Amino acid sequence: MRLHELAAFLEARYEGEADYEVSGIAALEKAQAQHLSFVASEKYLKQLAKTAAGIVVLSPALNEHFSGNKILIDNPYLAYARLSALFATRVQQVEGIHPTATVADTATIGDKVSIGPNCVVAEGAVIGANCELYAGCYVGERVEIGDDCLLYPNVTLYHDVKLGSQCLIHSGTVIGSDGFGFAPTAGAWTKIHQIGSVHIGNKVEIGSNCSIDRGALENTLIADNVIIDNLVHIAHNVQIGEGTAIAGCVGIAGSAVIGKNCTVAGMVAINGHIEIADNTHFHGGTIVTRGNREGGQFASTAPMMPVKDWQKNSVRYRQLEKWVERIQALEKAQKQNDK
Amino acid sequence: MRLHELAAFLEARYEGEADYEVSGIAALEKAQAQHLSFVASEKYLKQLAKTAAGIVVLSPALNEHFSGNKILIDNPYLAYARLSALFATRVQQVEGIHPTATVADTATIGDKVSIGPNCVVAEGAVIGANCELYAGCYVGERVEIGDDCLLYPNVTLYHDVKLGSQCLIHSGTVIGSDGFGFAPTAGAWTKIHQIGSVHIGNKVEIGSNCSIDRGALENTLIADNVIIDNLVHIAHNVQIGEGTAIAGCVGIAGSAVIGKNCTVAGMVAINGHIEIADNTHFHGGTIVTRGNREGGQFASTAPMMPVKDWQKNSVRYRQLEKWVERIQALEKAQKQNDK
Amino acid sequence: MRLHELAAFLEARYEGEADYEVSGIAALEKAQAQHLSFVASEKYLKQLAKTAAGIVVLSPALNEHFSGNKILIDNPYLAYARLSALFATRVQQVEGIHPTATVADTATIGDKVSIGPNCVVAEGAVIGANCELYAGCYVGERVEIGDDCLLYPNVTLYHDVKLGSQCLIHSGTVIGSDGFGFAPTAGAWTKIHQIGSVHIGNKVEIGSNCSIDRGALENTLIADNVIIDNLVHIAHNVQIGEGTAIAGCVGIAGSAVIGKNCTVAGMVAINGHIEIADNTHFHGGTIVTRGNREGGQFASTAPMMPVKDWQKNSVRYRQLEKWVERIQALEKAQKQNDK
């Protein structure tokens, strides 16, 4: 890729040798002459001064700080994201249905679809145009997948699941398994069949080995532009609002409703049947026991300590109520003294 | 389904139009004329008053609160669970062995079994009557599966695993992977081959993407009527007692013994080599470091706070032992004063 | 296996009936005449006194405590680990490419490799000698796998992933899925294509249903002799040093660098962009928010309590800063009094 082509792709201004060619992207401190790099913020001016990158993407405000080949654009980090597509290493899968795939006669397959080895597409399923299903994906009965979706190997979509367009699902992820619903029955459990499904919007990306359960009576709902990392558990009837980002190892219990544009950091657990406002941000490891009415930043974890301190402080934490009572007693005694 | 049929199925009394027909189940506030609904407890009397449901299941004690078509039964929530089976949307898989499946000659396949596309059944495996294995399941050497089990796509059972009857295993779940056992050896690790297996009782349901490890010398044991949600990790030689329920994202370390009829909420971590009494209930996110002799409710998480408060309180928690010492000094000084 | 053969295998001294034969391994208290057992430490002398084991492995220092057939060796636990291989129950998979596997013409397959049913090996992949791939494994384009690796069913390796020699990967594990990288874009997210890969060293064992993401620009790196349990999430550009052990349900955020010979207990969450020193040990459930310069033991969890106490203490924890202020006020008042 040449400088002028990259700038044209971004619809941005460039300075330098128009035909300068790069073959990869690298961070400022690692980049060589054959690399494109970028300055995400002013924090990186030191690295910029020393970089060997062949082309740098930076904001016009920082123009004076770099004299080499450059692309000037307002949001260089976003520009980097867009440029990364040009250097992606994924191999497009071969169009058509692989001979080892099992596709039901009643399934509807869109134009230019790739269905990889050992995929199974069950009765009544509908797969939109330009979808790529890698090997071993299972698409259950009556599933609907929009256009331009990408399913990596061994994704499982249970019956009746709906996926919008431009979704990307990573390997091992299961969508539509039964919600965890049982009626207690004298030391045993009677299964509540999960009659709802899972409806997922457009431009949703879901990481590897996630589990998203179908609803008990209504559907589990994931709105447009939601992004979900790996090993995330989403229980039945959860609703996740547009643009919300959920990091790895998060668990969301049944019927929780998460607002729009929230960020949920890693290993957060969200209680069932609560409502989280738009623009709420949970720090890593937060145990979210109640809902909120207004966005904001929340956390719940105890601080990390050397084990020796942790052992002592843990004992004190277990006695906290008692120590508070002793403070109150001291205050009372002091008041008596003051009289 | 007609009112009189539903009542007959439940062996319950009904009032209203015997031939009234419904086609689905819905919650009271969402139900329309074509829906069956139910009143799980008195808390829902308000919703009952306004419901448009065609048929309502409720306890005889609430009979006066609803004048429409109704089924009267003592435990309406359990009745709902039982009725949900009649409205289930899952498609029964076609009987027989799919031509793309690989089944060893020495495997024993019961009557009316369905083995889906790309399943593999290894040497000496035994699959009971009426089992359904969806596509891509792997059944290792000498595995034994009881009657009436359902395995959703891409379940993996390692060699020698035993599953009782009427078990349901969701997609991506792995049973029988090696326990995490190694002998430290000068900066490296010597693997301890895991010679035990996993034995699972009857009527066990396991969610999607769970991992249940085989035992080191003896077997990992999961008793009858245990229910397990998604993304649960069960280490080698764990034992789980009858009727215990384990929610999503739980991790149970090696050789932990969990009693009967316990409930383990989401994201709980249970230490290895401890014993948990029957009827123990852990709140979500609890880190269970010790066993107990008597059941009860336990929790360990710190409370959620706005990040601003959390930062200040975290500093104080790190100093807790010191503050306790200062309270003690104040008490001592006060005693001196009192003399 | 006979006593003299077992001793020869360990290159250790034995005493007793040279031809005494055992057929299995068991713990001291469970072992019968047909079992080999071992004494891991002096703590087990009571069990040793009562054991019915046919052969016992113990350290020369404990020789006088057992008069039966025995093998004398300095590290009996390590000896047990080594002996466990002789009693392993896994069935070696048949050499060759199963007819249902799909192997690209441009793939290179080493000597004595077993590629199981429904495996897919994509263009340009290289698989070393003596590897066994169980059913349903996916090996992406240009993947390189060293010699003597074992992949259990349904493992997914994305394009360009590199695996050293003598690695063992359990079922459902996904290596090379995209790192969670997006540029925020007005309520939506622009994907940052993940151009790096995952490079894994030699003698690495990874449990079931783990997710290891490829790097954004450079590679995610896992060094030799690392062992990883089940359901572990490793984000993009993480680096894990030699000999480090990571237990189940751990999550490691992007660009974290973990040193050598660390142990990370279950359900630990490690923040992104931090550095953890060699020989660091995290207790179960620790939320690791900062790096450290020196190894040691760390923990962060609040202690487990009966729910009744937990509720009260939680209220006090939320007010901790305020109670500290009240202690300070008492101290000030006391100082005034003292004047």
> Is the domain of C117 the same as that of C47?
no
Which chain A residues contact residue C303 at CB under 8 A? 314-315, 317-318
Chain C CB within 8 Å of residue B249 CB: yes
Provide the shortest C-alpha distance from residue A288 to chain B (in Å).
6
Residue B335's pLDDT band, with cuts at 50, 70 and 90, is confident
Any domain includes A236: yes
Q: Do C172 and B100 touch (CB under 8 A)?
A: no
Helix (H) or strand (E) holding B325: helix B320-338
Any domain includes A82: yes
**CATH, residue A81:** 3.40.1390.10
Which chain B residues contact residue A231 at CB under 8 A? 209, 231
**pLDDT attached to residue A220:** 98
Q: Of C35, C170, C199, C236, which one is the catalytic site residue?
A: C236
> Is the domain of B143 the same as that of B281?
yes
**pLDDT attached to residue B94:** 96
When CB atoms are compared, the residue of B158, B193, B249 closest to C87 is: B193
Q: Of A4, A98, A236, A273, which one is the catalytic site residue?
A: A236
Chain C CB within 8 Å of residue A317 CB: yes
Q: Closest residue of B to A323, CA-based?
A: B324
Any domain includes C159: yes
Averaged over C248-258, what is the pLDDT? 98
Chain B CB within 8 Å of residue A30 CB: no
Q: Do A195 and B337 touch (CB under 8 A)?
A: no
Q: Do B182 and C314 touch (CB under 8 A)?
A: no
Chain C CB within 8 Å of residue A300 CB: no
> Per mean pLDDT, which range of B102-106, B125-129, B187-191, C280-284 is the poorest?
B187-191
> Is the domain of A180 the same as that of A49?
no
Residue C37's pLDDT band, with cuts at 50, 70 and 90, is very high
- Cα–chain center distance at C339: 62
> Is the domain of A286 the same as that of A320?
no
| Pairing, β C188-191 against β C211-213 | unpaired
Q: Do C233 and A242 touch (CB under 8 A)?
A: no
Contact of B310 with B328, CB cutoff 8 Å: no
CA distance C240 to B72: 61
What the block records as the tokens of A249 is: 């190892």
Q: Do B180 and C77 touch (CB under 8 A)?
A: no
When CB atoms are compared, the residue of B181, B211, B298 closest to C209 is: B211
Chain A CB within 8 Å of residue C316 CB: yes
Chain A CB within 8 Å of residue C277 CB: no
Does the structure show a pLDDT above 80 at C338?
no
- Domain end, chosen from C87, C112, C138, is at C87
Give whole-number Cα distances, B151 to B133, B211, C69, C135, in Å.
5, 15, 47, 17
Any domain includes A303: no
First to last CA, chain B: 84
> Is the domain of A44 the same as that of A160?
no
Any domain includes C215: yes
When CB atoms are compared, the residue of A26, A91, A261 closest to C217 is: A26
What is the pTM assigned to this prediction? 0.97
Q: Closest residue of A to B316, CA-based?
A: A303
Residue C335's pLDDT band, with cuts at 50, 70 and 90, is confident
Q: Do B81 and A190 touch (CB under 8 A)?
A: yes
Percent of chain B with pLDDT over 70: 100
> Is the domain of C75 the same as that of C181?
no
When CB atoms are compared, the residue of A227, A302, A308 closest to C182 is: A227
The pLDDT tens digits along chain A (339 residues) read 999 999 999 999 999 999 999 999 999 999 999 999 999 899 999 999 999 999 999 999 999 999 999 999 999 999 999 999 999 999 999 999 999 999 999 999 999 999 999 999 999 999 999 999 999 999 999 999 999 999 999 999 999 999 999 999 999 999 999 999 999 988 799 999 999 999 999 999 999 999 999 999 999 999 999 999 999 999 999 999 999 999 999 999 999 999 999 999 999 999 999 999 999 999 999 999 999 999 999 999 999 999 999 999 999 999 999 999 999 999 999 888 877
Q: Do C183 and A81 touch (CB under 8 A)?
A: yes
Q: What is the largest CA-CA distance in chain C?
A: 94
**pLDDT attached to residue C232:** 98
Does the structure show a pLDDT above 90 at B339?
no
Q: Do C170 and B178 touch (CB under 8 A)?
A: yes
Phi and psi of C264, rounded to 5°?
-115, 110
Phi and psi of C198, rounded to 5°?
-125, 125
Of the candidates C293, C260, C264, the one whose C-alpha atom is nearest the C-alpha of residue C279 is C260
Tens of pLDDT, residues C47-65: 999 999 999 999 999 999 9
CA distance C327 to C337: 15
**pLDDT attached to residue A336:** 84
Percent of chain C with pLDDT over 90: 96
The residues in B 181-240 lying below 8 A from A, measured between CB atoms, are 203, 205, 207-209, 224-225, 227, 229-231
CA distance C48 to C27: 10
Chains that touch A (3 or more CB pairs under 8 A): B, C
Chain C CB within 8 Å of residue B118 CB: yes
The residues in C 35-74 lying below 8 A from A, measured between CB atoms, are none
Residue C246's pLDDT band, with cuts at 50, 70 and 90, is very high
CA distance C67 to C243: 38
Residue B338's pLDDT band, with cuts at 50, 70 and 90, is confident
> Is the domain of A263 the same as that of A173?
yes
Length of chain C: 339
> Is the domain of C258 the same as that of C165?
yes
Q: Closest residue of A to B241, CA-based?
A: A187
- Domain end, chosen from C87, C106, C138, is at C87
Which chain C residues contact residue B269 at CB under 8 A? 249, 266-267, 284-285
What the block records as the tokens of A226 is: 């939601």
Q: Do B302 and A300 touch (CB under 8 A)?
A: yes
**pLDDT attached to residue A338:** 76
Chain A CB within 8 Å of residue B102 CB: no
> Is the domain of A208 the same as that of A322?
no
Structural Rg of chain B based on CA atoms: 26
- Domain tally, chain A: 3
Q: Which residues pair with B185 in a beta bridge?
A: B188
**pLDDT attached to residue B336:** 84
**Which residue range(s) make up the domain with A147?**
96-298
User: Which residues of B are identified as catalytic?
Assistant: 236
DSSP string, B107-164: -EE-TT-EE-TT-EE-TT-EE-TT-EE-TT-EE-TT-EE-TT-EE-TT-EE-TT-EE-
Which chain B residues contact residue A162 at CB under 8 A? none
Which chain A residues contact residue C190 at CB under 8 A? 78, 81-82
Which chain B residues contact residue C1 at CB under 8 A? none
Percent of chain B with pLDDT over 90: 96
In the three-class reduction of DSSP (H, G, I as helix; E, B as strand; rest coil), residue A148 is classed as coil
Chain A CB within 8 Å of residue B303 CB: yes
Tens of pLDDT, residues B65-95: 999 999 999 999 999 999 999 999 999 999 9
Tens of pLDDT, residues B281-323: 999 999 999 999 999 999 999 999 999 999 999 999 999 999 9
Chain B CB within 8 Å of residue A336 CB: no
- Cα–chain center distance at C150: 15
In the three-class reduction of DSSP (H, G, I as helix; E, B as strand; rest coil), residue C217 is classed as coil
Any domain includes C305: no
Tens of pLDDT, residues B132-178: 999 999 999 999 999 999 999 999 999 999 999 999 999 999 999 99
**CATH, residue B293:** 2.160.10.10
> Is the domain of B8 the same as that of B39?
yes
Averaged over B9-32, what is the pLDDT? 97
Chain A CB within 8 Å of residue C312 CB: yes
Contact of A298 with A280, CB cutoff 8 Å: yes
> Is the domain of A282 the same as that of A334?
no
Which chain B residues contact residue C323 at CB under 8 A? 323
Chain A CB within 8 Å of residue B295 CB: no
Of the candidates A183, A215, A319, B173, the one whose C-alpha atom is nearest the C-alpha of residue C305 is A319
Question: b/e string for B162-186 if b means 16 or more Cβ within 10 A?
Answer: bbbbbbbbbbbbbbbbbbbbbbbee
When CB atoms are compared, the residue of C88, C225, C307 closest to B188 is: C225
Structural Rg of chain A based on CA atoms: 26
Tens of pLDDT, residues B182-217: 999 887 999 999 999 999 999 999 999 999 999 999
- Domain end, chosen from B44, B70, B87, is at B87
Cα-Cα-Cα-Cα torsion B254, B260, B265, B269, nearest 10 degrees, comes to -20
The residues in C 139-178 lying below 8 A from A, measured between CB atoms, are 140-141, 154, 156, 158-160, 172, 174, 177-178
Look up residue C21 and give its DSSP letter.
B
**pLDDT attached to residue C44:** 96
> Is the domain of C202 the same as that of C176?
yes
Any domain includes C29: yes
Of the candidates C250, C319, C257, the one whose C-alpha atom is nearest the C-alpha of residue C290 is C257
